[in-house]
């Protein structure tokens, strides 16, 4: 895919959607419910307007592909114009305003999941270590185009690349 307006669901995310994430609220669980398709443009716009309180926004910069148990959303953020979806960063926007960049691209996001860290845990709890998951590791090994690195390193790289994400997002809020 070379166009960022494409809403075709990446095969890697389709494979992640097949994994059962069991959340018991105990330490190393990942609170994540992956979708099997992106939210529609309309749903994404409605959500972003509600999340920010800004009726002038549209959701064109996001492709929502999952949520946590409270309704916080994981999305691909189209921050790199003209680049394919897989080259865009993955972000999390929590139900209570928490937010952050989780990975610099989809491939790195797969490694974060494989390392046992979910988008909400990486953002809300700043978790950088989890219990590796063999099913998610197999998916990352099949689809990832970046080398395996610890979640700690991937999160640090993503946050360093997009240090003003939260501040910029806050400026959109009313």
Residue-level pLDDT at 127: 61
Residue-level pLDDT at 92: 97
For the chain, what are the domain ranges? 11-172
Q: Is 7's pLDDT higher than 90?
A: no
- Tens digits of residue pLDDT in 115-173: 999 999 988 876 677 888 999 999 999 999 999 999 999 999 999 999 999 999 999 99
Residue-level pLDDT at 28: 67
Q: What does the alpha-carbon distance between residue 126 and residue 97 come to, in Å, rounded to a whole number?
A: 15
DSSP string, 67-122: E-TTS-EEEEE--STTS-GGGS-EEEE-TTS-EEEEESSHHHHHHHHHTT--HHHH
Region 47-72: what's the mean pLDDT?
A: 95
- Tens digits of residue pLDDT in 15-54: 999 999 887 776 667 899 999 999 999 999 999 999 999 9
Task: Give the closest residue to 151 by CA, choosing from 119, 129, 121.
Answer: 129
Residue-level pLDDT at 128: 73
Cα–chain-centroid distance for residue 35?
Answer: 12
Q: What does the alpha-carbon distance between residue 90 and residue 15 come to, in Å, rounded to a whole number?
A: 17
């Amino acid at each position: 895919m070379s166009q960022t307006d494409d809403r075709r669901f990446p095969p890697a995310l389709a494979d992640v959607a097949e994994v059962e994430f069991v959340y018991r609220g105990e330490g190393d669980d990942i609170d994540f419910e992956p979708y099997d398709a992106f939210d529609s443009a309309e749903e994404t716009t409605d959500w972003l307007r509600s999340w920010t309180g800004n009726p002038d926004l549209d959701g064109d910069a996001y492709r929502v592909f999952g949520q946590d148990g409270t309704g916080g959303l994981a999305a691909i953020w189209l921050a790199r114009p003209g680049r394919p979806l897989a080259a865009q960063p993955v972000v999390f926007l929590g139900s209570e305003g928490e937010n952050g960049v989780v990975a610099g691209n989809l491939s790195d996001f797969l490694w974060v999941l494989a390392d046992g860290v979910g988008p909400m845990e990486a953002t809300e709890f700043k978790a950088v270590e989890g219990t590796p998951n063999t099913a998610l590791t197999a998916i990352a090994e099949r689809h990832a185009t970046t080398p395996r690195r610890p979640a700690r390193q991937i999160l640090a790289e993503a946050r360093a690349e997009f240090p003003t994400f939260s501040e910029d997002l806050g400026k959109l809020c009313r």
